[in-house]
Amino acid sequence: MKHFMLPKGGVLREAETAATPNSILKQRSVTPRKQRLGAKENAPPGDFNVLADQHCSPSVKYVSPASGKLKSPLPPRPPTSNPLKRKLIMENLVENAVLGGSDSGVQVVVRMRPLNKEEDGEIIVQKVSSDSLTINGHSFTFDSVADTDATQVDIFNLVGAPLVENCLAGFNSSVFAYGQTGSGKTYTMWGPANALFEGDLLSTQPGLTPRVFDRLFARINEEQIKHADKQLTYQCRCSFLEIYNEQITDLFDPRQKNLQIREDVKSGVYVESLSEVCVSSMKELTENLMKGLSNRRIGATSINSESSRSHSVFTCVVESRCKRVADGLSSFKTSRINLVDLAGSERQKLTGAAGERLKEAGNINRSLSQLGNLINILAEVSQNGKQRHIPYRDSRLTFLLQDSLGGNAKLAMICAISPAQSCRSETFSTLRFAQRAKAIKNKAVVNEVMQDDVRVLREVIRQLKDELVRIKENKDAPANLNGGYSSGWDARRSLNLIKFSLNRPTTSPYVDDDGDEIMEIDEKELEGGEQSETEVVMEPASPDCDVNMDEDPGDICDKNDPVVNMQDENEKHIEPIPNEQSSLASESQCQNAAGISSSLNLDVVTPEVSPVLKSPTPSVSPQVIESRKSLRTSKMSTASHKDNDSLSPGAARSSLNSFKDDSLKVNSMLTQTRKSLLAPREQLAASLHRGLEIIGTHRSSFTTRQSSLRFSVKPPEYKLTVPVDKVDIGIQTEPEEDAAEDMPLSTLCSNCQGTNSLQMYSGEANDKSGLQLVVYEGSNTTEKAKLVPKVRSEAVI
């Protein structure tokens, strides 16, 4: 084993004294805030992303803090090639606009280490209160400031203890350690190596990570005893990776190098083939932690003889499930802990790095500056609410951890600094980074699904399907004034069911405004594989746009996929496309994209709407959307299992398979239902109301004329909407002869042009006057509607 984190430079502190909970640091506050206003560099921190004093049962559901703000813009996602992502962005915007987001401010803690042997000069940083410090007369305020007296226990109490509670409550939680080389990040996150070896959390100085797991295991135990009647079970799966020179290495199995980041709808962002290990005790945890840490890349910098030259990310997915004895209902909760020790920045000119070290330092600085840039943008977006491209793809670090940065996670940032005069400019830079990070708002939600939620939603879907089929049948049949159409009773019953479920106290008021993937109702899965014939939209699903950071096939997909192109401009335009044809179409459209395969998702189609009808807000309700990174793929599970065989003790091993099977099933359920839980039920109800309105309007208008309102049961043709820049809403008018010729074939992939003769749009005989609502993603345009050239039946994809 390589030596790592050995005490360096005689700066180790004495064994810490036991800290009182709720922070000793606060007691040290002496300076009234008023006196500090002079040269203050930043505003006082706002909300704090921790749950106050919560030792809560996992069965308790939390409302994300600060919910109810109507404004609360999403940190927008970059315009993306993944159509599912684009839809989600739109969904989230709508959802957010209606219900407000759940903002979780980033918790920023600044930790100042003691001077080391080489730094016996002037100390320029002074802590002035529990949450502020001054440096050369400039004052900064954060959530907490830990000075040289602060112990590892203090840091745990500030950051680790709330993290554990958040995790048990079902929130994703991340801690990033940021700072210049030698400032104390590694010491803070893991602690000195000897502390881990000794494994004694009281007498030595283990860092945050071992303390977090010590508390986590204790709390899990407590919860299981407390809720014995609920058959509460937990599983903790860990992985450990490093990003070195933009390459990912598995620290549990360093032979696995240059791993790729992937992204798909079901699993979110994940690292392909990364090992996972199940841990259920401190012994297992420390063994694995030490193993991983020993595989980290270290090197000497001018300040730190054993500097980490990579970013390391320790991740633990905590899954819990419980079953209520009273009614047998089960719930599944999952949360992800990311503990990130970033590589330290260094001024290359000052440190005189050369050769490999220089290249390394360049990569580290570039990666950190990309992180800084992202933080700036997120801070700006959080502050002014303006949408901007968020450059998650700039680096592997930001892409992998995008959920932690402006997404579905509670984030704590520990910014490590040296108080020495020699580190002045780096310290300023770290403090400014910290103050910008403070401005970011994440959107953390509880990742939980209840079995009965699934049941209710399944019933609603079934009834809506029946209703739509009936409507279609009645539409095809001669109109009958006295009930030729369905009475809408079933839909109303569905609505009542939704209302009923809204009123159930067991339901979390989830808000998700960050997930990147949506998972529309997959009735095949929900209803045992039966393929729905109603309102199906085929889209290239996750695998189509797996993200390979090197190749970015998403872009390939984007270029080649007319559907994708359409949706670039038209987030909410949901086209009715017949199953088989659509499947063919999407396969054909994406046939050039390497490794792309088509898979089908079910979508609820926004019906075409006559201009005389009130345009319903494009709705995809009830919709099921997956929140991103809480789940892992079967690949990872396999890897985990493999690894588990060698690393986990027998008990954990024997339970792993069955737990995984269950977990995957429930994960799948979670995937399917998460969004409808995350999407507040009020919205589902509102959507159903709108659906009923449409049904009602359609019924009444059908008897007097052929309505252009069309429920897309097996719609007989394709439609292609030509994207129009800067248009909020386009209305597709009746087909024009010339329109097809005018259609820019540039929207079609070259390979597909002329090869696929699927009919795209022929216009129904009875739909000549029909108009189609086409909603474009928001723009500044004053034009609310525009005639969109319509593609004729002979148009070629």
Ligand X SMILES: Nc1ncnc2c1ncn2[C@@H]1O[C@H](COP(=O)(O)OP(=O)(O)OP(=O)(O)O)[C@@H](O)[C@H]1O
Residues contributing to the annotated binding site for ATP = 179-186
For ligand X, the nearest residue by Cβ is 344
Distance CA 346, CA 330 (A): 51
Nearer to ligand X, 7 or 68 (CB): 7
CA of 151: how far to CAs of 112, 155, 343, 561, in Å?
Answer: 11, 7, 22, 56
Considering only CA atoms, which of 635, 665, 633, 679 is closest in space to residue 525?
A: 665
Find out whether 534 and 468 touch, Cβ atoms under 8 Å. Answer: yes
Any contact of residue 463 with ligand X (CB under 6 A)?
no
Any contact of residue 187 with ligand X (CB under 6 A)?
yes
Any contact of residue 7 with ligand X (CB under 6 A)?
yes
- Minimum CB separation of residue 344 from ligand X in Å reads 2
Q: Which of 101, 268, 344, 616 contacts ligand X by CB under 6 A?
A: 344
Nearer to ligand X, 13 or 642 (CB): 13
Give the DSSP letter string of 413-436: EEEEE--BGGGHHHHHHHHHHHHH
The strand pair at 261-264 and 448-450 is best described as unpaired
Nearer to ligand X, 279 or 293 (CB): 293
Tokens of 502: 């809204």
CA atoms within 13 A on the CB side of 771: 18
Any contact of residue 301 with ligand X (CB under 6 A)?
yes
Q: Which of 160, 179, 488, 618 contacts ligand X by CB under 6 A?
A: 179
- Minimum CB separation of residue 108 from ligand X in Å reads 17
CA-CA-CA-CA dihedral for 34, 38, 39, 44, to nearest 10: 30
- From the list 129-137, 184-192, 276-284, 622-630, the region that binds ligand X by CB under 6 A is 184-192
Q: Which of 23, 186, 570, 627 contacts ligand X by CB under 6 A?
A: 186
Nearer to ligand X, 358 or 651 (CB): 358
- Minimum CB separation of residue 400 from ligand X in Å reads 19
Considering only CA atoms, which of 72, 657, 172, 79 is closest in space to residue 385?
A: 72
Among residue numbers 192 through 231, which ones bind ligand X (CB under 6 A)?
A: 192
Q: Which of 23, 67, 96, 181 contacts ligand X by CB under 6 A?
A: 181
Any contact of residue 304 with ligand X (CB under 6 A)?
yes
Nearer to ligand X, 42 or 183 (CB): 183
- Beta carbons within 8 Å of 498's beta carbon, 6+ residues apart: 456, 460, 622, 681, 684, 685, 688
Any contact of residue 130 with ligand X (CB under 6 A)?
no
- From the list 5-13, 318-326, 539-547, 651-659, the region that binds ligand X by CB under 6 A is 5-13
Which residue intervals of 527-649 are DSSP H helices? 553-560, 562-569, 579-589, 634-647
Find out whether 271 and 241 touch, Cβ atoms under 8 Å. Answer: yes
Burial class (CB in 10 A: 0-12, 13-18, 19+), 244: buried
Tokens of 506: 């067991």
Q: Which of 92, 104, 134, 183 contacts ligand X by CB under 6 A?
A: 183
- Minimum CB separation of residue 117 from ligand X in Å reads 10
Find out whether 512 and 99 touch, Cβ atoms under 8 Å. Answer: no
Nearer to ligand X, 139 or 186 (CB): 186
Among residue numbers 770 through 789, which ones bind ligand X (CB under 6 A)?
A: none
Q: Which of 12, 56, 98, 664 contacts ligand X by CB under 6 A?
A: 12
φ/ψ of 89, rounded to 5, equals -55, -45
- From the list 118-126, 299-307, 439-447, 672-680, the region that binds ligand X by CB under 6 A is 299-307
Nearer to ligand X, 302 or 753 (CB): 302
Amino acid identity of residue 342, one-letter, is L
Nearer to ligand X, 74 or 343 (CB): 343
- Minimum CB separation of residue 114 from ligand X in Å reads 5
Considering only CA atoms, which of 547, 647, 561 is closest in space to residue 598?
A: 561
Nearer to ligand X, 181 or 707 (CB): 181
- From the list 67-75, 108-116, 248-256, 643-651, the region that binds ligand X by CB under 6 A is 108-116
- From the list 130-138, 300-308, 660-668, 734-742, the region that binds ligand X by CB under 6 A is 300-308
- Residues making up the chain, counted from first to last: 797
Nearer to ligand X, 357 or 465 (CB): 357
Angle 443-446-451 from CA coordinates, rounded to 5°: 140
Nearer to ligand X, 150 or 440 (CB): 150
The Cβ of residue 27 has, within 10 Å, a number of other Cβ atoms equal to 10
Among residue numbers 718 through 757, which ones bind ligand X (CB under 6 A)?
A: none
- From the list 42-50, 67-75, 302-310, 598-606, the region that binds ligand X by CB under 6 A is 302-310
Interface size with ligand X, residues (CB under 6 A): 25
Burial class (CB in 10 A: 0-12, 13-18, 19+), 528: exposed
Q: Which of 45, 170, 184, 789 contacts ligand X by CB under 6 A?
A: 184
- Locate the DSSP E strands across 261-370: 261-264, 268-271, 277-278, 298-299, 307-308, 311-323, 330-341
Any contact of residue 185 with ligand X (CB under 6 A)?
yes
Q: Which of 61, 77, 113, 699 contacts ligand X by CB under 6 A?
A: 113
Q: Which of 65, 73, 105, 114 contacts ligand X by CB under 6 A?
A: 114
- From the list 2-10, 25-33, 576-584, 751-759, the region that binds ligand X by CB under 6 A is 2-10
Specify which residues 169 forms β-bridges with. none
Considering only CA atoms, which of 310, 176, 248 is closest in space to residue 547?
A: 248
Any contact of residue 367 with ligand X (CB under 6 A)?
no
Q: State the DSSP code for 716.
A: S
Any contact of residue 509 with ligand X (CB under 6 A)?
no
Distance CA 124, CA 143 (A): 21
Any contact of residue 308 with ligand X (CB under 6 A)?
yes
Considering only CA atoms, which of 448, 470, 373, 485 is closest in space to residue 78?
A: 373
Q: Which of 72, 307, 310, 586 contacts ligand X by CB under 6 A?
A: 307
- Beta carbons within 8 Å of 471's beta carbon, 6+ residues apart: 485, 486, 695, 698, 711, 713
The strand pair at 173-179 and 233-244 is best described as unpaired
Binding site members: 179-186
Find out whether 236 and 601 touch, Cβ atoms under 8 Å. Answer: no
Nearer to ligand X, 84 or 293 (CB): 293
Tokens of 368: 């950190």
- Residues 407-426, one symbol each (x = binds ligand X by CB under 6 A, - = not), give ---------x----------
Find out whether 213 and 167 touch, Cβ atoms under 8 Å. Answer: no
Q: Which residues lie near ligand X (CB under 6 A)? A: 7-9, 11-13, 113-114, 116, 179, 181-187, 192, 301, 304, 307-308, 343-344, 416
